[in-house]
Amino acid sequence: MSSTNELIFAKRHMVLVFFMTLGFVGLVGRGLYLHVIDQEFLRRQGDARIVREEPIAAHRGILKDRNGLPLAVSTPVVSIYVNPKEALARKLDVRALASALDLDATSVLRRLKANSKREFMYVKRHLSPEAAEAVLASEMPGVYGMTEYRRFYPEGEVTSHLLGFTNLDDVGQEGLELAFDEKLRGESGAKKVLLDRKGRKVKDVALIRPARTGQDIYLSFDARTQYLAYRELATAIAQHGAKAGTAVALDVETGEVLAMVNQPSFNPNNRTKLKPDELRNRAVTDMFEPGSTMKPFTVAVALESGKYTARSLLNTNPGSYRVHNKLVTDHQNYGVIDLGTVITKSSNVGTTQIALSLPPETLPTFFARFGFGKSTGSGFPGESPGRLQPPERWRPVEIATMSYGYGLTTTALQLAHGYATLASGGIARPVSFTKVEGPVKGERVIAQKIAEQLIPMMESVVTQDGTAMKAAVPGYRIAGKTGTAHKAVGGSYSADQYMSTFVGMAPASRPKIVLAVVIDSPSNGQYYGGLVSAPVFSRIMAETLRMMNVEPDRSAEHLAQQGKLPLSPIMARRDGV
Q: Tens digits of per-residue pLDDT, 541-555?
A: 999 999 999 999 876
Residue type, 430: P
What is the predicted pLDDT for the residue at 544? Answer: 96
| Burial of residue 416 (number of CB atoms within 10 Å: 0-12, 13-18, 19+) | buried
The secondary structure element, H or E, covering residue 571 is helix 569-574
Express as a percent the part of the chain with pLDDT over 90.
66
The Cα-based distances of 475 to 359, 538, 545, 556, 558 in angstroms read 42, 12, 10, 10, 12
Q: Are strands 513-520 and 492-506 parallel, antiparallel or unpaired?
A: antiparallel
Class of domain 53-218: alpha beta
Determine contact, residues 516/507, Cβ cutoff 8 Å: no
Please classify residue 387 by burial: count the beta carbons closer than 10 Å to its beta carbon, then call 0-12 exposed, 13-18 middle and 19+ buried: middle
pTM of the shown model: 0.83
Taking the mean position of all CA atoms in its chain, how far away is CA 428? 22
Fold of 223-267+277-574: Beta-lactamase (3.40.710)
> What is the mean pLDDT of the segment spanning 157-162?
96
Instruction: Note the helical H segments in 241-294.
Output: 276-279, 282-285
Residues with active-site annotation = 292
Helix H or strand E encompassing 536? helix 534-547
CB 306 within 8 A of CB 450: no
161: nearest Cα among 254, 244, 39: 244
* pLDDT tens, position by position, 318-359: 999 999 999 999 999 999 999 999 999 999 999 999 999 999
State which H helix or E strand residue 131 sits in. helix 129-136
Q: Where are the domains of the chain?
A: 53-218, 223-267+277-574
In 3D space, the residue among 75, 248, 289 whose CA is nearest the CA of residue 166 turns out to be 75
What is the distance between the alpha carbons of residues 146 and 49, in angstroms, rounded to a whole number?
19
Q: Which amino acid is at 510?
A: R
pLDDT bin (cut points 50, 70, 90) of residue 7 is low
Q: DSSP state, 320?
A: E
Question: In sequence order, what E strands does 214-290 have?
Answer: 217-218, 244-251, 257-263
97 pLDDT above the threshold of 50: yes
Other CB atoms closer than 10 Å to residue 216's CB: what's the count?
15
